[in-house]
Structure 1
Amino acid sequence: MIKFAIVGMGHIASKHIDAIEKAEGAKLTAICDTNTERLKEVPTGVKTYTDLSVMLEENNDISVVNICVPSGLHARLTKIVAEHKRHIIVEKPMSLKLEDAEEMIEVAKENGVKLAVVHPNRFRPAIQKLKEKVESGVFGKLSHANATVRWNRNQEYYDQAPWRGTKEFDGGVLMNQAIHNLDLMLWLMGPVESVQSMVATRLRNIETEDVATSVVRFKNGALGVIEAATTIYPKNLEESISIFGETASVKIGGRNANYIETWDIEGVTEEEINSTVEEIKADPFGKPGHQWIIEDMVDAIKEDREPIVSGEDGMAPIKLILAIIESSEKGTQITLS
């Protein structure tokens, strides 16, 4: 069994606990949080700590630490874990600054440990099918893509914790809510060459943006449109990813981008389309994405390979988001290096 620990008992930690409990070959050993009240919620039999270094020093059998603290703390805690020679799974976004992401990747390499970033939406059944079709070439020459997140996060949501909506610890709609969707767009379409963007803080009393729009050009020549907002009244409306090419048009939508809304591919019959749509509808979520991430880390350790969602993968949407924000601030097109 590969033994895991978690640092940070906030909202997302419950998904990690559940994923580790269900994952084959994984066992949860310890949890660390500076808030002793939160540690009262830890499952029976799991050790609790208020100091990360102490937890690691007292438990040499811990192989992986899942970092579930506010985003602005990811880089510092990743360094501590890596220097203790433990593998790392870090929640999205892996950092809020590009230099921090680069340092996290470097410190993991220097200490010979594996670094995985939590982008679980890649493993949803509809997205997996779309990825297969993109890689098979059925789209022909790609025209453009559309990434949309139209969600509601009201002021009460941001007021639940003092770090939410801050530039130092949280980030805005792009870093916090839309980053999974942007990860999918990059994973499916490839790297972005340039962006022209506008972002704003329209309705929420926060430091960061609550709405963003951007037009991008991919390195393959295709175009893309990004729309992200937490200002949608009165509840989440949709998350979608659409890809268009000379011989195919596909849209994966719903409130969380897990249903097929359009599946038009040259040579595919109406019967085949309906069969695919119904297959996804019957099981739109599949195995939980966090469980995929945990089990992949177990396999990566045993096979001595990189995790399927690596540090470099986690850095890609951060680089894009920072370029979008820079483009808006400067009022000009930004070329990504």
Structure 2
Amino acid sequence: MSDRIGLAVVGLGMAAKPHALALKNLQDQIDVRGCYARSAEARVEFCKTYGFPEATDVEALAHDPTVDALLLITPPNARLDLISLFAGQNKHILTEKPLERTTEAAAEIVDLCAASNVSLGVVFQHRFRAASEALAKLMDEGALGTNRVVRAEVPWWRGQSYYDEPGRGSYARDGGGVLISQAIHTLDLMLSMTGPVAAVQALCATTPFHRMEAEDFAAGVVEFESGAVGSIFASTASFPGDAESLKFDCDNGSASLKSGVLTVHWRDGRVETFGSEATTGGGADPMAFPYDWHKSLIADFATAIRAGHPPRVTGSEALHVHRLITAIEASSRSGQKTQVVKG
């Protein structure tokens, strides 16, 4: 392997923009060997816009010896076959969230990559915000003391035109609605701070604001394995949309993450802030956020491949948020408190 990672990019839709901007800034580390989408028009437009080489045959791209890894940005229903193809050629995998539409299918991908002895990373870029990293450090060092209460809120807005795209908000293509498509980022970040959830009692619904198959509203209360308790609210029916937030009430102070800023209110009266304010795509424009977090995540993945160790966000870690979402949905269907399945 050369100093630069040879990368194939598959899937060139709306979600590809921040990846492309990040890759333009990582050319000293990553060599984009080819970009593929089923639509020839989309391929030509993407490659012309960002100056990357076009790939017209995904099989040839997978067999290219100069390709070390795959960046996969397709919808969830198009993941398994492509990961099987590239992993079968010993290519490492970095895939957009969610891993797949169901926890069972996501676990199949994790097992497939493990059996092929390739790294599997997942794009949970919110972990790479400066404010998120500052909070993780405070948590790891024990500065805030024991966490007692958690509040996760994702009050986003999507107009009906967003869900008018064929398959969006369906179980067949996306695996669900607001939980697996939008709130999954905040829930993953929450779990990275708190550890696993033990049980949840929740309600999911589709409001009159949207014509869609899956939920645009979810709310519930959770019990963490640590003994902490918390609440979750997620919706794409909250006009005009606001930034997602995470709040942690701990023995030595409370910490709030919102819009890329961490605010810590210490019990001794001090107030500290970390990070800088940034948009997060909570309003009508789903892509209204910077690409810096994607850049840090992709750079971490490339470094991990070169060094031969796992990336910061692995497929196995991603299963935790999949299991939580599955439990939330199951609780809503049953009307009962539901245990989160352990890995």
TM over 0.5: yes
TM-superposed deviation, 1:67: 0.7
Comparing 1-10 and 48-57, the one that deviates more: 48-57
Could you tell me how far apart the structure 2 residues matched to 1:286 and 1:14 are?
10
- Write the letter of the residue equivalent to 2:160: Q
Within 5 Å, give how 1:248-327 maps onto structure 2: 248-253=253-258, 257-260=259-262, 262-267=263-268, 269-270=270-271, 273=272, 276-277=273-274, 280-281=276-277, 288-327=292-331
Q: Provide Cα deviations, 1:171-202, integer angstroms capped at 9, x if missing partner.
A: 20000010000001100110010010000001
Within 5 Å, give how 1:198-277 maps onto structure 2: 198-202=203-207, 203-233=209-239, 235-253=240-258, 257-260=259-262, 262-267=263-268, 269-270=270-271, 273=272, 276-277=273-274
Q: Is the 8 A contact 2:61 2:67 kept in 1?
A: no
Q: Is the 8 A contact 1:155 1:204 kept in 2?
A: yes
Over the matched positions of the two proteins, sequence identity in percent amounts to 31
Within 5 Å, give how 1:51-70 maps onto structure 2: 51-57=57-63, 59-70=64-75
Structure 1 length-normalised TM:
0.91
Go from structure 1 to structure 2 and tell me whether the alpha carbon gap of 1:268 and 1:128 turns closer, same or farther (over 3 Å shift): farther
Following TM superposition, the consecutive aligned residue runs of length 4 or more in structure 1 with deviations greater than 3 angstroms are 44-47, 266-270, 279-287
Q: CA RMSD in A?
A: 2.0
Comparing 209-218 and 24-33, the one that deviates more: 24-33
Question: 1:16 is paired with a residue of what secondary structure?
Answer: helix
- Write the letter of the residue equivalent to 1:325: E
Could you tell me how far apart the structure 2 residues matched to 1:73 and 1:309 are?
21
1:76 and 2:77 matched: no
Q: Is the 8 A contact 1:21 1:28 kept in 2?
A: no
Within 5 Å, give how 1:44-193 maps onto structure 2: 44=48, 46-57=52-63, 59-159=64-164, 161-170=165-174, 171-193=176-198
Question: 1:42 is paired with a residue of what secondary structure?
Answer: helix
User: Alignment partner for residue 334 of structure 2, among 312, 330, 335?
Assistant: 330
Could you tell me how far apart the structure 2 residues matched to 1:308 and 1:43 are?
29
Go from structure 1 to structure 2 and tell me whether the alpha carbon gap of 1:312 and 1:282 turns closer, same or farther (over 3 Å shift): closer
Go from structure 1 to structure 2 and tell me whether the alpha carbon gap of 1:76 and 1:214 turns closer, same or farther (over 3 Å shift): farther
Residue in structure 2 matched with residue 5 of structure 1 by the alignment: 8
Could you tell me how far apart the structure 2 residues matched to 1:75 and 1:146 are?
33
- Write the letter of the residue equivalent to 2:42: R
Structure 1 gaps of 5+ residues are: none
- Write the letter of the residue equivalent to 2:310: E
Question: 1:324 is paired with a residue of what secondary structure?
Answer: helix
Could you tell me how far apart the structure 1 residues matched to 2:277 and 2:158 are?
27
Q: Provide Cα deviations, 1:50-106, integer angstroms capped at 9, x if missing partner.
A: 44222222x211111111111122222211211121011100111111111111111
Q: Provide Cα deviations, 1:89-142, integer angstroms capped at 9, x if missing partner.
A: 100111111111111111111111110000001111111111111111122222
Could you tell me how far apart the structure 2 residues matched to 1:281 and 1:176 are?
23
Question: 1:103 is paired with a residue of what secondary structure?
Answer: helix
Could you tell me how far apart the structure 1 residues matched to 2:306 and 2:314 are?
16
Residue in structure 2 matched with residue 20 of structure 1 by the alignment: 23
Could you tell me how far apart the structure 2 residues matched to 1:281 and 1:104 are?
35
Could you tell me how far apart the structure 2 residues matched to 1:292 and 1:241 are?
21
Structure 2 gaps of 5+ residues are: 281-288
TM-superposed deviation, 1:259: 2.1
Go from structure 1 to structure 2 and tell me whether the alpha carbon gap of 1:283 and 1:9 turns closer, same or farther (over 3 Å shift): closer
Could you tell me how far apart the structure 1 residues matched to 2:185 and 2:211 are?
24
- Write the letter of the residue equivalent to 1:114: S
Q: Provide Cα deviations, 1:5-26, integer angstroms capped at 9, x if missing partner.
A: 1111101112212212212411
Structure 2 length-normalised TM:
0.90
Comparing 103-112 and 72-81, the one that deviates more: 72-81
Could you tell me how far apart the structure 2 residues matched to 1:145 and 1:64 are?
37
- Write the letter of the residue equivalent to 1:335: Q
